[in-house]
């Protein structure tokens, strides 16, 4: 049951991000071009599971993406707002797929389940 709730929350976040992007008349091409950009954080796994988990988790938590979004709103920066929305949407997609924050033991060990 909890996994379904987290996946539904991810869907809600993703749909809200698309809505916010369209509502602000931002170019959807950039949305889809940059949507998978946070996954570059997996490069950290080259240095091992611990470093990989740290970099992956840094780029897959709402704390950082939300901070970028809030800063963009405060300083009225369309670029930061767009990046924050796209980044948050990416995390929402990951949650829909059942991907969670990583433990340093293995890439497949997440706070949601073992993949």
- Are 40 and 52 within 8 A, CB to CB? no
pLDDT of residue 108: 75
Q: What is the pLDDT of residues 60-89, one digit of tens each?
A: 999 999 999 999 999 999 999 999 999 999
Q: What is the pLDDT of residues 90-111, one digit of tens each?
A: 999 999 988 878 887 876 766 6
Structure-token match 């949601």, residue found:
112
Mean pLDDT of the chain: 91
- The pairs formed by 19-23 with CB atoms below 8 angstroms and a separation of 24 or more are 20/85, 21/82, 21/85, 21/86, 21/89
Rounded CA-CA distance 26/30 in Å is 8
- Given a cut of 60, whether residue 2 has pLDDT beyond it is yes
Domain boundaries, the chain: 2-105
What phi, psi does 27 have (nearest 5°)? -75, 115
54 or 102, greater pLDDT: 54
pLDDT of residue 100: 79
């Amino acid at each position: 049951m909890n996994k379904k709730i987290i996946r539904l929350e991810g869907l809600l976040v993703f749909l809200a991000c698309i809505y916010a992007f369209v509502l602000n008349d931002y170019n959807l091409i950039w949305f889809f071009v940059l949507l998978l950009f946070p996954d570059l954080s997996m490069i950290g796994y080259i240095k091992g599971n611990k470093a990989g988990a740290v970099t992956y988790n840094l780029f897959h938590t709402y704390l950082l993406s939300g901070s970028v979004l809030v800063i963009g709103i405060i300083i009225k920066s369309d670029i930061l707002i767009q990046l924050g929305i796209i980044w948050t949407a990416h995390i929402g997609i990951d949650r829909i797929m059942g991907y969670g924050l990583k433990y340093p033991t293995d890439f497949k060990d997440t706070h949601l389940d073992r993949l």
